[in-house]
Amino acid sequence: MVEQDSQSRVAAVVIMAAGAGTRMRSAIPKVLHRVAGKSMVALAIDTADALAPDRLVVVVGHQRELVAEHLAEVAPHVTIAVQEQPLGTGDAVRAGLSALPGVSGEVVVTSGDVPLLAPETLVDLVAAHRAEANAVTVLTAVVPDPTGYGRIVREGDEIARIVEQSDATDAELGLAEINAGIYVFDAATLGEGLAALQARNTQGELYLTDVIAHARAAGRRVGALMVADYLQTEGVNDRIQLAERAAELNRRILSRWMAEGVTVLDPATTWVHAGVDLAEDVTLLPGTSLEGATSVSRGAVIGPDTTLIDVEVGENARVLRTHAELAVIGPDVTVGPFSYLRPGTELAARAHVGAFVEMKKAVIGEGAKVPHLTYCGDAVVGAGSNIGAGTIFANYDGVGKYTTTVGEHSFVGSDSVLVAPVQIADGAYVAAGSTITVDVGPGELAVSRGQQRNIKGWVERKRAGTPSAQAAAAALAAHEQEATQMESGE
């Protein structure tokens, strides 16, 4: 959540999010596509929240049920307004204003598909609106290629009109300053202008920009704030632009963290979501993706080739080639390579989880070790215990899942199966290769395996003529020769 600025508080913000986004070629509404771990409309709401609006309205249209369901989850404080037909930006804002009866003061209008728009830019836009006593203030930018954008036609430091691409003359098409589609309106001016809109254009739509002409005709001042960082005004209309905006926002996120003391060895292969929190002296190695609400404490090293989703990482932890989700990794813990931490895993200080270990709802105590090739599900492992290679915590009987508890400073030998529910007490040992189905008491050794027997001559009888038989015969001959020499005293 972006910090709110009470001095920039406005009466309302209206976010236009009703478009079909047909060029996305997607079953998902355009504004629900994600950038930096959040839907574009959620990013727009975060940015708008910086103005601390009395009311925040999101205008939906295409697949409104999906958008409304998402908004109820991520931003329950917003009001939803519906644009019944796609009749243009003016009609969309008119729908939004219908959810704000009697509104007075400043109304900010923005879009749900400009993911790079910074909260500070909206704050500056409102400040300019107030400083110039404008009826309308428009955010503008000079872009390398203005194709597709409405052009700004100026008279001195005021805006005379905004001309859409399809309605512009050749001279107007040569203008480089464009309308970003983000405005601050005096509520009365906005209401009057929307009421007067008519579809007098080649598209047959109601243009919000015609409110500018209405304000000018009424002798009211229309100003502009030109943002130097034009990328903030870039929208998303297709998958190519979505990827471009995502890469740029990721670059900005990484730059901010590097300025705050995080080492990012290879920014080109490192992805960090907007909701991630990093401390000073964290190191991110190539191929790292930190997602959701992941937090990483001072001195931790993450990567290479690691994905953490909603994971808490403690100080000086080392997480190598690991996938983890909804897990807690304590201070000075080492994880990996090739570990998989599933939801509910909690690793206490100085614990070690090694190669090819999968954990689910596993609570591992201080200094405990699960070094290699283990499935550890629905388990509690006490401090200082060691789980040998190839151990399986058999937590599922086909109907329910059960918990295995291993006490403090216990030892489970390699290739053991612990059949839940079962408890291994403090200081107990489990012999390698055992299948444990009964609780093991403090200090006991549990052995559960068949007695070994060696059948002499089996290879000679059953595998005659094979390389194994030849090797065995040679070894037996050498052994007999050695025995004979010892008997003769040679």
The active-site residue out of 33, 129, 214, 372 is 372
List CB contacts of 7: < 8 A, sequence separation 6 or more.
Answer: none
Give the span between the Cα atoms of 388 and 431, in whole angstroms.
Answer: 10
Minimal CA–CA distance to 122: which of 214, 220, 32, 56?
56
Phi then psi dihedrals of residue 40, to 5 deg:
-60, -35
HEC profile of the chain? CCCCCHHHCCCEEEEEECCCCHHHCCCCCHHHCEECCEEHHHHHHHHHHCCCCCEEEEEECCCHHHHHHHHHHHCCCCEEEECCCCCCHHHHHHHHHHCCCCCCCEEEEEECCCCCCCHHHHHHHHHHHHHCCCCEEEEEEECCCCCCCCEEEEECCEEEEEECHHHCCHHHHCCCEEEEEEEEEEHHHHHHHHHCCCCCCCCCCCCCCHHHHHHHHCCCCEEEEECCCHHHHCCCCCHHHHHHHHHHHHHHHHHHHHHCCCEECCHHHCEECCCCEECCCCEECCCCEEECCCEECCCCEECCCCEEECCEECCCCEECCEEEECCEECCCCEECCCEEECCCCEECCCCEEEECCEEEEEEECCCCEEEECCEEEEEEECCCCEECCCCEEECECCCCECCEEECCCCEECCCCEEECCEEECCCCEECCCCEECCCECCCCEECCCCCCCCCCCHHHHHCCCCHHHHHHHHHHHHHHHHHHHHHHCC
Minimal CA–CA distance to 152: which of 128, 127, 180?
180
Other C-beta atoms closer than 10 Å to the C-beta of 487 total: 8
| CB contact at 8 A, 370 and 412 | no
Q: Is 372 among the catalytic positions?
A: yes
Which residue numbers are catalytic? 372
